[in-house]
């Protein structure tokens, strides 16, 4: 039968021409919140059912590549630094796709073991694929770790697989034959009972060893306890762990999720003392982590693995396991649902039915070399929140804005210092934004993975409203200094040392990696509408430098620039129709300029940033560089008082202090 005759026949019979999930890979749909419930969730409209819908949205996209039980979870490679760069890494790429999409499938299968997507029985697919990992004749075969083999990505994925098996053995494990179970135990334990990376990776060994112990296999319990104790030693208080050496989202969401999941599904029964410690650490995050998110429930783009996006909010639903009366569950769900909306409803989130490696869409500067396209499904961990029962307060409490409603006041700024981790979280009620300042001290020459020394970590601060922009070769910089180095290239500061938080001033020292003679004392003073920087140049050699405000992406129209003069100071304002940013050089700078950039911003191809410039700065001149970096929502007017929030600045070289008189009557003494 000719093709056009077949089409006519199908239409006459009222049959679909294509199967539902055979939709064009390029025609990506945007997630829609259908039948929102604004009575229970007045801020987002999202309920537990909408979380299930979001999980299905991701899983249906992944299964659009699956037509038989033998098809691997392998997706189109994104151009750039992500792997695989050669065929040797393809088996691990497939393993990532399998184990990470299972994060989404496992909770759904818990409720509906008969789930079918794209005419594939989902449970059958995962059980079949899991058993092929030990079949030498299968293209999905994973070679067991050799006797002297080190930690690898296979350990990560087997740890991930163990989490899903631990939470849903009824569907994923019990139906397997004893021979299949034994083969999996042998292969997975070859990795779990072995070396690891001294970071959150220890949990991958912990989960492998714990799952097979639960299933009655003999495991290396001595090593299990060793890794548990070492993981607990990474705790630094206020909910934060140290990820050796970094602090980022992993320091909170990865460690805290692993500790809570392990305790709930294994630890309470087998190692209650360790479980109690992990749960006590988990309880600490309630008073800190929520403040890292904006009033609208948006997360800050900060640190590595940003492509995992919504995974960062998994601690909030897991609070439901503790049923702690001190937790504002309506606020926790509001944040978590807000972050899901932040990404899932963005038109650039999906490409080829798979989330991009990037932030909203593709953004190569935020991609790490250890990621493949399937790595993005690490975000699927958020759907372990579906394991929280329907009648749990996390799902039944009325959504609210928490501290943004009952704690924060307009025209104020709120700092929350995290203690040992030296992290400062700042909340700005006037625009509903959150901000973070945290660790960065990694040299490019030592950073073989090329992420801890980059813009993912080295910005002076990170803000939920103003996503970080990558540096340009011509000195374009946002929220950092760049210095013209001995190689005549612009080099960003990255070697920071925290000094103290005192009187609302966050102090750090910084030195240029390629020239120890270039060094600064930095002082950040968060204000109600922005930041006052009062930095001291201690360099013993003349330098040319630039300092950037946050950048604005070009959205629906041109970014407008306005220049005003107030009491001898030049004010530069840029406005993209959503926000306005203003920069006022108070001391030290030669001039301001608005710099246009292309391909450097995660929200748009074109962007603008205000840069301050100083050429041949030397100690013979005034060594203090004072700058106001302010913001407002677009459409709001600036008064002169709002723009010139500083009345007077006096530097005492003898005392090594700067006395700052603010327009609101406050005095700040910067003590280097």
Q: What is the mean pLDDT of the chain?
A: 94
Q: Is 131 helix (H, G, I), strand (E, B) or coil?
A: helix
Burial of 649 (0-12, 13-18, 19+ CB in 10 A): middle
Residue 7 confidence class, pLDDT cut points 50, 70, 90: very low
Q: What is the pLDDT of residue 239?
A: 98
Q: What is the pLDDT of residue 620?
A: 64
Residue 10, pLDDT > 60, answer no
Element (H, E) at 612: strand 606-617
Q: Encoding tokens for residue 239?
A: 């909910």
pLDDT of residue 418: 98
User: Residue 24 — pLDDT band, cuts 50, 70, 90?
Assistant: very low
- pLDDT tens for 259-294 read 999 999 999 999 999 999 999 999 999 999 999 999
Look at residue 621 in the predicted model and tell me its pLDDT. 67
pTM reported for the whole predicted model: 0.94
pLDDT at 619: 64
With 50 as the cut, is the pLDDT of residue 1 above it? no
How does residue 630 score in pLDDT terms, banded at 50, 70 and 90? very high
pLDDT digits (tens, 9 = 90+) for 514-550: 999 999 999 999 999 999 999 999 999 999 999 999 9
- Residue 4, pLDDT above cutoff 50: no
- How far is the C-alpha of 322 from the C-alpha of 671, rounded, in Å? 43
DSSP state of 445: G
Residue the block writes with tokens 């994925």: 157
pLDDT above 60: residue 59: yes
**H or E element that contains 373:** none
Contacts (Cβ under 8 Å, ≥6 apart) of 284: 237, 238, 239
Are the C-beta atoms of residues 93 and 74 closer than 8 Å to each other? yes
Tokens representing 154 are: 């296979």
State pLDDT tens for residues 133-152.
Answer: 999 999 999 999 999 999 99
Q: Dig out the tokens for 257 from the structure.
A: 């999720």
Mean pLDDT throughout 436-458? 95
Residues 184/158, Cβ–Cβ less than 8 Å: no
So what's the pLDDT on residue 654?
85
pLDDT digits (tens, 9 = 90+) for 557-570: 999 999 999 999 99
Partnered with residue 613 across adjacent β-strands are 546, 591
Which pLDDT tens digit goes with each residue over 584-623? 999 999 999 999 999 999 999 999 999 999 998 776 667 9
């Amino acid at each position: 039968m000719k093709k056009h005759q077949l089409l006519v026949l199908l239409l006459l019979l009222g049959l679909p021409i294509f199967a539902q999930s055979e939709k064009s890979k390029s025609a990506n749909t945007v997630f829609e919140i259908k039948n929102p419930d604004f009575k229970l969730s007045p801020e987002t409209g999202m309920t537990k059912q909408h979380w299930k819908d979001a999980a299905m949205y991701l899983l249906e996209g992944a299964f659009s590549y699956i037509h038989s039980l033998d098809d691997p979870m392998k997706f189109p490679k994104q151009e750039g630094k992500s792997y695989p760069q050669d065929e040797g890494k393809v088996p691990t790429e497939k393993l990532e796709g399998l184990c990470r999409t299972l994060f989404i499938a496992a909770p759904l299968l818990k409720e509906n073991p008969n789930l079918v997507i794209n005419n594939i029985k989902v449970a059958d697919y995962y059980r079949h694929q899991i058993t092929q990992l030990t079949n030498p004749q299968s293209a999905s075969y994973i070679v067991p770790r050799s006797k002297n083999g080190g930690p690898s990505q296979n350990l990560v994925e087997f740890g991930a697989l163990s989490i899903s098996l631990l939470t849903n053995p009824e569907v994923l494990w019990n139906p397997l034959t004893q021979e299949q179970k034994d083969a999996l135990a042998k292969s997975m334990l070859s990795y779990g009972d072995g070396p690891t990376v001294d970071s959150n990776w220890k949990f991958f060994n912990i989960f492998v060893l714990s799952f097979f112990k639960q299933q009655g296999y003999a495991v290396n319990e001595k090593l299990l306890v060793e890794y548990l104790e070492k993981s607990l030693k990474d705790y630094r208080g206020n909910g934060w762990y140290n990820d050796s050496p970094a602090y980022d989202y992993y320091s909170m969401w990865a460690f805290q999720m692993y500790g809570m999941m392990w305790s709930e599904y294994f630890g309470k029964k087998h190692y209650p003392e360790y479980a109690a410690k992990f749960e006590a650490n988990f309880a600490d995050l309630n008073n800190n982590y929520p403040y890292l998110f904006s009033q609208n429930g948006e997360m800050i783009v900060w640190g590595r693995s940003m492509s995992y996006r919504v995974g960062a909010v998994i601690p909030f639903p897991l609070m439901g396991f503790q049923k702690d009366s001190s937790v504002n569950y309506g606020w926790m769900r509001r944040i978590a649902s807000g972050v899901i909306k932040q990404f899932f409803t963005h038109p650039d989130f999906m490409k080829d039915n798979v989330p991009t490696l990037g932030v909203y869409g593709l953004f190569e500067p935020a991609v790490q070399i250890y990621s493949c396209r399937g790595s993005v499904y690490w975000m699927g961990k958020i759907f372990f929140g579906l394991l929280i029962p329907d009648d749990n307060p996390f799902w039944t409490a009325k959504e609210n804005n928490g501290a943004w409603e009952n704690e924060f006041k307009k025209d104020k700024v709120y700092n929350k210092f995290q203690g040992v981790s030296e992290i400062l979280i700042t909340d700005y009620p006037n625009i509903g934004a959150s901000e973070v300042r945290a660790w960065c001290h990694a040299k490019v020459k030592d950073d073989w993975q090329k992420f801890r020394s980059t813009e993912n970590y080295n910005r002076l601060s990170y803000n939920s409203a103003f996503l970080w922009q990558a540096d340009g070769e011509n000195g374009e910089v946002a929220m950092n200094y760049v210095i013209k180095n001995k190689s005549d290239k612009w080099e960003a500061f990255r070697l920071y040392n925290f000094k103290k938080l005192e009187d609302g001033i966050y102090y750090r020292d910084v030195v240029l990696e390629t020239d120890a003679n270039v060094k600064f004392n930095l002082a950040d003073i968060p204000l109600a509408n922005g930041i006052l920087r009062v930095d001291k140049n201690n360099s013993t050699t003349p330098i040319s430098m630039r300092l950037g405000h946050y950048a604005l992406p070009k959205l629906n129209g041109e970014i407008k620039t306005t220049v005003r003069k107030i009491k001898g100071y030049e004010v530069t304002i840029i406005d993209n129709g959503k926000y306005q940013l203003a920069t006022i050089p108070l001391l030290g700078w030669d001039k301001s300029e608005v710099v246009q950039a292309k391909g450097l911003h995660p929200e748009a191809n074109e962007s603008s940033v205000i840069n301050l410039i100083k050429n041949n700065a030397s100690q013979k001149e005034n060594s203090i560089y004072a700058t106001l970096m302010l913001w407002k929502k677009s459409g709001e007017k600036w008064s002169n008082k709002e723009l010139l929030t500083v009345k007077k600045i006096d530097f005492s070289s003898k005392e090594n202090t700067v006395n700052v008189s603010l327009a609101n009557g406050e005095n700040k003494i910067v003590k280097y």
